Amino acid sequence: MYRYDEFDHDFVKARVAEFSDQVDRRLAGEITEDQFKPLRLMNGVYLQLHAYMLRVAVPYGTLNSRQLRMLGHIARKYDKGYGHFTTRQNIQYNWPALSDIPAILEDLASVEMHAIQTSGNCIRNVTADHFAGAAADEVADPRPYAEILRQWSSVHPEFSYLPRKFKIAVTGAERDRAAIQTHDIGLHLKKNDKGELGFAVYVGGGQGRTPMIGKKINDFLPEKDLLSYCTAILRVYNLHGRRDNKYKARIKILVHETGAEEFARQVETEFAALKDGELKLPDEDIRAIERYFAPPALTPRPEGDEAVRLARLDSRGFSEWLDQNVITHRHADYAGVTISLKGIGEAPGDASDSQMEAIADLAEKYAFDEIRVSHEQNLILPHVARADLKAVYDGLVEIELATANSNLITDIIACPGLDYCALANARSIIVAQNISKRFASLERQRDIGELKLKISGCINACGHHHVGHIGILGVEKKGAELYQVTLGGSGDENTSVGEIVGRGFGPDEITDAIETVVETYLRIRSDRSETFLDAYRRVGQAPFKEALYAGEAKAA
């Protein structure tokens, strides 16, 4: 994985020193809150309901054991024993004291981590497919490009005060696991018919109060042009993006109002002027970064098949976990493992200090020291020999993280909502917990099949509800929580925005409503192979509406 060079070390160290000084001056009363707030936000420090919150960047979701152990250490020493992994592949601490933040940042810097650009109107943490470098369906590892973008965008003088925040995602596979079409820029790494690497470029996707699907403005951008083309996009945005209205300031609004074709034309004009300049990436530079991401030496472990076969016979739990949480690796003796942070009735994405440490140990022992954070708020061990799967499973059982529910209805994304977030209108976590308990039976979950349920506590959509097969949005109505249900959203290569099905439900009704939706699907699906999303796309809202609201119409 990427290792800091001297420049990176010095840069992060200097930033820690600078922000520590700013914190000291704030605590001493030498600077006011109005002066301090933009500074703390630039360093990932928010104020939530109960305390400050620190958002730590996990570039493209990749961690090594030492880093994860440090995240556990910070949770124990400075927080309340846990952290929250987010849909942007970051981690948030919910209770740090401002006075402790300099020490936390120093601890992070000691393992090459920081909280820079996790907030503010700049280019944020670049996210990537969490199975990057491991997935069987991948053309190439997208992370070297994410790293190139990270280096280019870090304290970029021209792009540090954009009209609004800016999020880039990269995938290297046809099957989009990074939701690229819901990002300001989405990059799909692929090969052309000459076998050269390049990107399909999507622009203007986003969620929030105005969900938009990214428009493809380039079908094949050669890899050497990555930075000049992204610079061209950002220049057009920086110049024409609206600064008069925060709600219209994202690039998605500009692309929408300008029209994708005209926008693409403006980008091309900028690009033409930049293309042969200093931003052009020399092949040797790309290959040099690529070497940092060289896959571990995967020695043949052919005994895996037999080991897995025997372990399956021995343990039903293992067998179920294998079916649900283990994916095909590009090397036949290996597998990719999803560690579900969605135990039945647990808060999605939360992990305790000791769980983080135990996972770090497992990764060190069995997974070449690599851990990923997925945008679905789970942790991933990307390279595990099939022969070691049982040992990993046993280790996860010990720390209660062996729930076999990846991609099932209890694998819920939920934002912090009103239990923590100062912007929230309604709680999300408790809704997730109640639904998780209702559908606790694995047999039932597996009968339902793939179903992505996503919950946000307000229209900012941090919980990705717009692209949930079933989405739940918390709103406040007459001082009470109300939950709107959307159906048919999807955040993959066929991205769609869910449609509101009808009037919302109170906190005591929402679990039943979700169950009604699911039962309706089970009733109407043509057979078991038709997923919820496929069935919805075939029949539309009508049967769901009918099931949810018919009684009402009659009563009225």
Partner 1 sequence: MKILTANRLTDGEAVWFANDGTWAETLRNADVASDKEAEARLQALGDAAYANNEVVDVNLIDIDLVCGEIVPSRLRERIRAAGPTNRTDLGKQALPVDQAA
Q: In terms of DSSP H, where are the helices of 119-209?
A: 143-153
The DSSP secondary structure of 344-404, one letter per residue, reads TTSPTTEEEHHHHHHHHHHHHHHSTTEEEE-TTS-EEEEEEEGGGHHHHHHHHHHTT----
Long-range contacts, 254-261 (Cβ 8 Å, 24+): 254/204, 255/203, 255/204, 255/212, 255/215, 256/204, 256/212, 260/203, 260/204, 260/215, 260/217
User: Apex CA 53: angle with CA 373 and CA 43, to 5°?
Assistant: 80
End-to-end CA, the chain? 62
User: Apex CA 158: angle with CA 154 and CA 162, to 5°?
Assistant: 90
61 binds, among partner 1, ligand HEM, ligand SF4, none (CB under 5 to 8 A by kind): none
Measure CA 202 to chain center: 18
Q: Does 340 bind ligand HEM (CB under 6 A)?
A: no
Using the contact rule CB under 6 A, the part of the chain among 25-33, 190-198, 461-469, 496-504 near ligand SF4 is 461-469
The pattern of x and - marking residues 20 through 59 that bind ligand HEM according to CB under 6 A reads --------------------------x-x----x------
Q: Does 284 bind partner 1 (CB under 8 A)?
A: no
419 binds, among partner 1, ligand HEM, ligand SF4, none (CB under 5 to 8 A by kind): partner 1
Q: Does 462 bind ligand HEM (CB under 6 A)?
A: yes
Tokens of 139: 């053309």
Shortest distance, CB of residue 421 to ligand SF4, whole angstroms? 3
Q: Does 119 bind ligand SF4 (CB under 6 A)?
A: no
Shortest distance, CB of residue 148 to partner 1, whole angstroms? 36
Which of 368, 483 has the CB closer to ligand HEM?
483
Residue of the chain from 349, 395, 463, 498 that contacts ligand SF4 (CB under 6 A): 463
Using the contact rule CB under 6 A, the part of the chain among 100-108, 203-211, 237-245, 404-412 near ligand HEM is 203-211
Q: Does 87 bind ligand HEM (CB under 6 A)?
A: yes
Q: Does 198 bind ligand SF4 (CB under 6 A)?
A: no
Q: Which residues contact 229 (CB under 8 A, 6 or more apart)?
A: 201, 218, 221, 267, 271
Distances (CA, A) of 170 to 189, 379, 386, 452: 7, 18, 28, 21
Tokens of 395: 């280790």
Q: Does 479 bind partner 1 (CB under 8 A)?
A: yes
Q: Does 51 bind partner 1 (CB under 8 A)?
A: yes
Q: Per-residue b/e over 311-332, b at no fewer than 16 CB within 10 Å?
A: bbeebeebbbbbebbbbebbbe
Residue of the chain from 421, 514, 533, 535 that contacts ligand SF4 (CB under 6 A): 421
Q: Does 88 bind ligand HEM (CB under 6 A)?
A: yes
Q: Does 103 bind partner 1 (CB under 8 A)?
A: no
Torsion, Cα 497 470 60 82, to 10 degrees, reads 140
Is-contact 320 362, C-beta < 8 A? no
87 binds, among ligand HEM, partner 1, ligand SF4, none (CB under 5 to 8 A by kind): ligand HEM
The pattern of x and - marking residues 410 through 449 that bind ligand HEM according to CB under 6 A reads -----xx----x-x--------------------------
| Interstrand relation of 453-456 and 52-56 (parallel, antiparallel or unpaired) | unpaired
Which of 434, 460 has the CB closer to ligand HEM?
460
Output the CA torsion sign for 463, 467, 468, 474.
positive
Shortest distance, CB of residue 98 to partner 1, whole angstroms? 6
Q: Does 460 bind ligand HEM (CB under 6 A)?
A: yes
Measure CA 471 to chain center: 16
Q: Does 514 bind ligand SF4 (CB under 6 A)?
A: no
102 binds, among ligand HEM, partner 1, ligand SF4, none (CB under 5 to 8 A by kind): none
Residue 327 DSSP SS3: strand
Q: Does 206 bind ligand HEM (CB under 6 A)?
A: yes
* Residue for token pair 């409503």: 513
Shortest distance, CB of residue 22 to partner 1, whole angstroms? 13
Which of 423, 440 has the CB closer to ligand HEM?
423
Question: Where does residue 441 rank: exposed (0-12), middle (13-18), buried (19+ CB within 10 A)?
Answer: exposed
- Between residue 145 and residue 164, which ones bind ligand HEM under the rule CB under 6 A? 164
Measure CA 409 to chain center: 18
Q: Does 427 bind partner 1 (CB under 8 A)?
A: yes
List contacts with partner 1 (CB under 8 A). 26-27, 29, 32-33, 47-52, 80, 95-99, 347, 418-420, 422, 424, 427, 429-430, 433, 479-481
List contacts with ligand SF4 (CB under 6 A). 415-417, 421, 423-424, 456-458, 460-463
List contacts with ligand HEM (CB under 6 A). 46, 48, 53, 86-88, 92, 164, 167, 206-208, 250, 415-416, 421, 423, 460-462
